[in-house]
Amino acid sequence: MFAFVLAIWQAKVRLAVKAQAPYYRSMERPLIYLKDLPKYECLLRLADLYPQAQPDAIECYLVLLHLVNGWVQTVERSFARKGISRGKFSVLATLWWRENKGIRPSQLADMCGVTRATMTGLLIGLQRSGLVRRVRSREDRRVHTIELTPRGLQLVKTILPGYYRLVASLTQALGADKKRTLAKLARDLLPSRDNSARK
């Protein structure tokens, strides 16, 4: 996003002659502040400055970024009211989903999509709150796994109903067919594991 905004700024410096200034003033705010999405006409003019700029791709990117940012903020506010972060709840929910059978910290990090260092910090906080505990593996006593405590399990069960209601509300403007279509299109944009590894 920074590179995109920087490109707009550089173009403005080079070409902002007096006759064009009103146009740039009109497109400056929506391109910098994500809450105000740019009009498609602005993106077409951007393509005149940069042949690499594809208006359809940029519009798709900005709309999806705007949507996801809004969703994340809504969910994070909901968790904050319950005294827990989204990251910590992801750990608790993952353990619950795996039937609390015990998972290694490194596996938890992979499953939650965070670094091992980040997972270490999350687990320290959860342990201090009495929501998870470390248990020696029965297969290898040198290995520790993570389990929910009764308190952690109860917290997950308390939060999940409201969480699912919130998730449902985020797409309530769409019917079932449109939701499935949206999910399919979004999946088409997800990079495969092979592509991610090559990067």
The mean pLDDT value for 26-54 works out to 64
Which residues are paired to 134 by β-bridges?
146
pLDDT confidence of residue 105: 93
Judge whether residue 19 has pLDDT over 50. Answer: no
Using DSSP bridges, classify how beta strands 144-148 and 132-136 pair: parallel, antiparallel or unpaired.
Answer: antiparallel
User: What is the DSSP code string of 3-49?
Assistant: HHHHHHHHHHHHH--TTTHHHHHHHHHHHHSTTSPPPHHHHHHHHHH
Judge whether residue 6 has pLDDT over 70. Answer: no
146, 123 contact by CB (below 8 A): yes
Domains of the chain: 1-53 (no CATH), 84-171 (1.10.10.10)
pLDDT mean across residues, the chain: 79
Ranking 5-14, 61-70, 119-128 by mean pLDDT, the lowest is 5-14
Separation between Cα atoms, residue 37 and residue 79, nearest integer Å: 27
Task: Give SS3 for 134.
Answer: strand
pLDDT digits (tens, 9 = 90+) for 51-93: 887 888 888 888 888 888 889 999 999 999 999 999 999 999 9
Through-space distance between the first and last CA atoms of the chain, rounded to whole angstroms: 19
120, 105 contact by CB (below 8 A): yes
Task: Give SS3 for 136.
Answer: strand
Q: Which residue has the higher pLDDT, 19 or 120?
A: 120
* Residue 157 structure tokens: 């069960």
102, 147 contact by CB (below 8 A): yes
Task: Name the residue with tokens 């690499």.
Answer: 52
Name residues whose C-beta falls within 8 Å of residue 30's C-beta, 6 or more positions apart in sequence.
36, 37, 38, 39, 42
Report the amino acid identity of residue 155: L
Q: Specify the pTM.
A: 0.68
pLDDT confidence of residue 36: 67
Judge whether residue 31 has pLDDT over 70. Answer: no
